[in-house]
Amino acid sequence: MKHNYEYRDRTYKNNGHHVIFVHAYKHQKEWKRFLIKKIMEIEEQRHDEIIRNATNTAILDSETSTTFSFGWS
C-alpha cells in the first residue's frame, strides 16, 4: 500500500496542523537534515504569521484611536 503523503500533508495543513513525514526517507542521515529543514520552515511560517497579525493589529489600533486635546500646556 502506497501512502499518499501529499494528500495527508494538505489535509493537516488545511486544518492548521503541521505534520512532518520522516518515514519517506531511507537514508540514515538524510532524514535528520530533512526534519531540521521542515521544522525551520514551520517556525518561519509561524513567525511571518505573528508579524502579519501584529502589523494588522497596529494598523487597526492607529485607525481607531482618537487623540484628545484639552488645550493644556
Q: Does residue 68 lie within any of the structural domains?
A: no
Q: Does residue 73 lie within any of the structural domains?
A: no
pLDDT at residue 1 above 50? no
* pLDDT reported for residue 40: 94
Q: Does residue 13 lie within any of the structural domains?
A: no
Q: What is the DSSP string of 14-73?
A: HTT------TT--STTHHHHHHHHHHHHHHHHHHHHHHHHHHHHHHHHHHH---------
Which residue segment(s) compose the domain that 39 sits in?
24-60
Q: Does residue 1 lie within any of the structural domains?
A: no
Q: Pick 58 or 68 by higher pLDDT.
A: 58
Handedness of CA 35, 41, 46, 50 (dihedral sign): positive
Q: Does residue 19 lie within any of the structural domains?
A: no
- pTM, entire model: 0.53
* pLDDT reported for residue 70: 58
What confidence tens digit (pLDDT) does each residue in 16-66 have?
A: 877 777 665 667 777 788 888 889 998 999 899 988 888 888 776 666 655
Q: Does residue 35 lie within any of the structural domains?
A: yes
